[in-house]
Amino acid sequence: MSPPLPPLLTDADRPWLRRYPSNVPPHLEIPPVRLPELIGKAVEKWSARTAFIFYGSRLTYAQFWDQTGRFAAALSKDGVRAGDRVALFLPNCPAYPIAFFGALRLGAVVVQVSPLYHGQDLTRLLSDAHPKGIVTLEILDPQLADLDASARPPLRYVARLRGFYPVWTRPLVNLVLRRRGLPTTFPTGPGVRPWQQLLRNDGMFPAPPAGQPATEVAVFQYTGGTTGRPKAAMLSHRNLVANAVQCGSWFPSGRPGAEVVLASLPFFHIYGLTVALNYPLSQGATIVLQLRPEVPEMLKLIDKYRPTELPGVPALYQGINSNPKTPRYHLGSIRLCLSGSAPLPLEVAQKFESITGGKLLEGYGLTEASPVTHANPVEGERRAGSIGLPLPETDQRVVDVETGIRTLPAGELGELAVRGPQVMLGYYRQPDETSAVLRGDWLLTGDLGTIDADGYVFIVDRKKDMIDVGGLKVYPREVEEVLYQHPGLLEAAVVGQPDPRLGEVVVAYVVRKPGSAVTAQELIDFVRDRIAHYKAPRTVEFRDKLPRSSVQKVLRRELRAEAAAAVLAPPATGPA
């Protein structure tokens, strides 16, 4: 058992509270309720308001809640009970929020499964979670049917994608799907439950037994599953309720019952779940669902539905900035955007704000914290390069990397640790992994950074991404920030490559802007002119695109693997 970190005793230990805008409370009362109870209050208040828009089809809050009850009743009829697990294998479509809250209303635990998973990814995750049932679409079901029977859940709740579109567009949906090579045949066989039929019930289901929201698991949110043994962060109802309430307090300019949120972020990722679903629903927002986060379609949806909030990741904002068709669309409805999941380059933020007139704030979070822990204030000071201040009821400190115990003074580099009601219960059936990151009620984030005297946090890099060049530390983000300053580059990612003499050297993977002819040597010289030579890339690799996760985070692990493999047979460094 790792020793706990000493507590912060008073607000005097929290200098960031003095930097809060006057309309942000320093402390919050987190309602002692399950997540469905929090959203149920919004349903009562805004029952006639549109909750979801999906390519022209609409659901009011009352209709949405009625369908969650019918789904809960269908689960109950199939023998699903409180505490059982129900997996969601879905993109952003109406089935997702209906199934998510239906399962939670019954007291089941939702298992989040990326629809991009297949084969071994799916087998590992489902074998770990052992859900009793899984909700999916007919276009994804073949990936489940191909699994070994021991990994496949006994119950499959399958919806037709076209059934969620307006009636007049449904004939075209299957045509488009077939052109994309996606299956449209509806599955049959034991355990298959057609979505449209299973909702034909009276919506009556047994209420879950009284429990403690602080200890009752609501969601299994997997992290790191593609790099080895999957880890399910167990997020309680209190974790998810707290983070929705914390987000609401941090954005006091929000207008309950009046905002429109474009949900391009996938709900199966914790960032999308909280900032694009739970938090907006708790505020009575209308949520515009986007199946996949593709920029050309996003521009059309913004133009048509006039969202006021657009939570996203830097790659999406950069995609809007660089799309040649962006000037054709009306983007002026956007008032507020929270960027997370990856560092936000200053140039990207400034250009996006000049295009839309809205505010783009960099924030920070991680799966184990439901996920949001920090953000720059809407009305207070935004510090360039900072992830901002801790949200209300969130504590922070920087600790030494060697032990994770010793608290470091302001300005000194170490590992960021956080504490708050949004921090997970632990990893499912992985006590060693849990004890490695939880020190008492403090969570070690794995991110290296500093906290200044006012409490603003500056993340330098992931601890595991740090590059050791002959004993000298290089942080990829620092090099990437310089590369982003070059006018000929669209994207950049930096990793370490094994080197027999220095241990590691720096390698950059970059994407040119259209029409750019910048060379590898020009980029190397560009970096050397601005920061220490040992931080400059030894090699520059040009790519048409960088590998990304489902939320558009650059997959450095893939680039590291490629760089390591290249040591045996080094490729060309690009055009001279």
pLDDT in tens, 51-76: 999 999 999 999 999 999 999 999 99
d(CA 347, CA 407): 33
Reduced to 3 states, what is the DSSP secondary structure of residue 92?
coil
| Two structure tokens written together for 347 | 């140039």
Percent of the chain scored above 70 by pLDDT?
Answer: 96
SS (H, E, C) 25-51: CCCCCCCCCCHHHHHHHHHHHCCCCEE
Confidence of residue 415 (pLDDT cuts 50, 70, 90): very high
CATH number, span 466-566: 3.30.300.30
321 or 573: which leads in pLDDT = 321
pLDDT in tens, 320-338: 999 999 999 999 999 999 9
Q: Quick one: pLDDT band at residue 574, thresholds 50, 70, 90?
A: very low
Q: How confident is the model at residue 226 (pLDDT cuts 50, 70, 90)?
A: very low
Q: Mean pLDDT, the chain, as a whole number?
A: 92
For position 2, what pLDDT does the model report? 60
Give the other-Cβ count within 10 Å of 431's Cβ.
10
pLDDT band of 9, cuts 50, 70, 90? low
Residue 305 has a pLDDT of 98
Residue 277 has pLDDT above 80, yes or no: yes
Any idea where the domains of the chain sit in the sequence? 11-19+25-447, 466-566
Q: What is the pLDDT of residue 225?
A: 39
Instruction: Evaluate whether 171 touches 163 at the Cβ level (below 8 Å).
Output: no
Three-class DSSP category at 399: strand
Mark residue 379 as left, alpha or beta (left: phi above 0; alpha: psi -120 to 50; beta: remaining): alpha
Q: What mean pLDDT do residues 6-12 have?
A: 70
Q: Is the peptide bond before 371 cis (omega within 30 degrees of 0)?
A: yes
Q: Would you say residue 241 has pLDDT above 80?
A: yes
Identify which of 200, 207, 261, 235 has the alpha carbon closest to the alpha carbon of residue 40. 207
- Please, what is the end-to-end C-alpha distance for the chain in angstroms? 55
Across the range 536-557, mean pLDDT stands at 88
Residue 34 or 554, more confident: 34
Placement of tokens 């058992």 in the chain: 1
Mean pLDDT of 75-92: 97
Alpha helices in 449-555 (DSSP H): 476-484, 520-528
Comparing CA positions, the residue from 87, 40, 11, 20 lying closest to residue 391 is 20
CA geometry: angle 176, 180, 185, nearest 5 deg: 75
pLDDT of residue 7: 67
569 band by pLDDT with thresholds 50, 70 and 90: low
Lowest mean pLDDT among 97-111, 147-161, 317-331, 455-469: 455-469
Strands (E), 55-176: 57-60, 85-89, 109-113, 133-137, 155-159
According to the model, what pLDDT value does residue 471 have? 67
Short-list 18, 35, 26, CA closest to 103: 35
Query: Is 11-19+25-447 CATH 3.40.640.10?
Result: no
| Of 370, 409, 377, 379, residue with least CA distance to 391 | 377
Mean pLDDT of 218-243: 84
Of 214-223, 243-252, 384-393, 547-556, the poorest mean pLDDT is in 547-556
Predicted pLDDT at 430: 94
Q: How confident is the model over 459-479, as pLDDT tens digits?
A: 987 777 878 787 677 878 889
pTM of the model: 0.85
Is there a shared CATH topology between the 11-19+25-447 domain and the 466-566 domain?
no
Asked whether the predicted pLDDT for residue 501 surpasses 80, the reply is no
What pLDDT was estimated at residue 353?
97
Predicted pLDDT at 149: 85
Is the Cα torsion angle 558, 561, 566, 567 positive or negative in sign? positive
Tell me which residue has tokens 């809250």: 101
User: Quick check: 228 pLDDT over 50?
Assistant: no
Q: Is 162 helix (H, G, I), strand (E, B) or coil?
A: helix
- Pairwise CA distance, residues 264 & 266, whole Å: 6
345 phi and psi angles, rounded to 5 deg: -60, 140
